[in-house]
Structure 1
Amino acid sequence: MATETKNHRLFTQLIDESFSVVNADVYNLYITLSKYTIRFGVEDNIRHKFLLLEDYTLTKTFNPLQLVRQLREIILEHAFLSTVKWHQVRVGIKNQKFTFLPGTLYQAEAAEEYLKLHSEIDEFHDRVYSYQHPSLDMVTIFATDQYLPTFLQATFPPDIIQIRHQVSAFIETLLHITERSAQKRLYAYVEQDYLTLIIIKNNQLEFGNVFYYATPEDFIYFLIFVMQEHELNPDQDPVTIWGDVLHDSDLFDMMRKYVRNLQMGKKPSGLSYSYKFEEQFDHRYLEVFSLHYGE
Structure 2
Amino acid sequence: MVTGQKFMDLTINNEKQYYKLSILITQDGLSFCTQNTENNTLDIFFNKSFNNNLDPEKILVELQNAIKFNIDSSILTAISKVKVVYANNLYNIVPQKYFSEKKLTDYLKFNTKILHTDFIAFDELNNIKANSVYIPYTNINNYLFDQFGEFTYTHSSTLFVDLCLVNSSNKLNTEVVYLNIYTSTFDICIIKDNKLLLANSFEYFTPQDFIYYVLFCLEQLKLNNEELQMYLCGKINETDNLYHYLYTYVKNIEFLDTSFLVQQLKNLSEKNINPKQNLLLLSNLI
TM-score tier (shorter): 0.7 to 0.9
Equivalence for 1:132: 124
Pick the aligned partner of 1:25 from 12, 17, 20: 17
Q: Does 1:65 align with 2:87?
A: no
Q: Give the 4+ runs in structure 1 shifted more than 6 A.
A: none
Please state how far the C-alpha of 1:75 moved relative to its aligned partner. Answer: 1.2
Of residues 45, 49, 54, the one that matches 1:53 is 45
Task: Give 2:240's match in structure 1, choosing from 235, 241, 249.
Answer: 249
Matched residue, 2:152: 162
Question: In structure 2, what is the Cα distance between the partners aligned to 1:47 and 1:198?
Answer: 33
* Shift in alpha-carbon separation, 1:145–1:241, aligned structure 2, 3 A: same
**Residues of 2 paired with 1:140 and 1:65: CA distance?**
24
In structure 1, the residue matched to 2:210 is 219
RCO higher in 1 or 2 (8 Å CA, sep ≥ 6)?
2
Alignment partner, residue 255 of structure 2: 264
Q: 1:41 to 1:237 in 2, by over 3 A?
A: same
Compute the displacement of 1:82 (Å): 8.1
The CA deviation string for residues 145-204 of structure 1, in whole angstroms up to 9 with x for no partner, is 3221121111111x3x12211111111222334433322211101112212110122333
1:170 maps to a residue whose letter is F
Q: How does 1:58-207 map to 2 (within 5 A)?
A: 58-59=50-51, 62-77=54-69, 78-80=71-73, 83-124=76-117, 126-157=118-149, 159=150, 161-182=151-172, 183-207=174-198
1:272 offset after TM fit, Å? 1.8
> Could you say what secondary structure the match of 1:269 adopts?
helix
Counterparts of 2:244 and 2:96, CA distance in 1: 40
Task: Mark the runs of 5 or more structure 1 residues left unpaired by the alignment.
Answer: 1-21
The residue type paired with residue 254 of structure 1 is Y
Task: Give aligned-pair identity as a percent.
Answer: 17
Tell me how many residue pairs correspond in the alignment.
269
Alpha-carbon offset, residue 23 of structure 1:
9.7
Cα distance between partner residues in 1 of 2:185 and 2:78: 34
Question: Aligned partners of 2:20, 2:167: CA distance in 1, in Å?
Answer: 20
Distance in 2 between residues matched to 1:86 and 1:137, nearest whole Å: 34
Paired letter, 2:95:
P
Amino acid at match of 2:197: E
User: Aligned in 2, Cα 1:127/1:199: closer, same or farther, shift over 3 Å?
Assistant: same
Where in structure 2 are there 5+ consecutive unaligned residues? Answer: 1-13
Deviates more, 1:213-222 or 1:227-236: 227-236
SS in 2 for 1:29: strand
State the TM-score, normalized to the length of structure 1: 0.81
Deviation at 1:85, TM superposition (A): 4.6
Q: CA RMSD in A?
A: 2.6
Q: TM-score, normalised by structure 2?
A: 0.83
Task: Report the CA distance between 1:80 and its aligned residue.
Answer: 3.3
Closer, same or farther: CA 200–61 of 1 in aligned 2, 3 Å: closer
Return the letter of the residue paired with 2:164. Answer: L
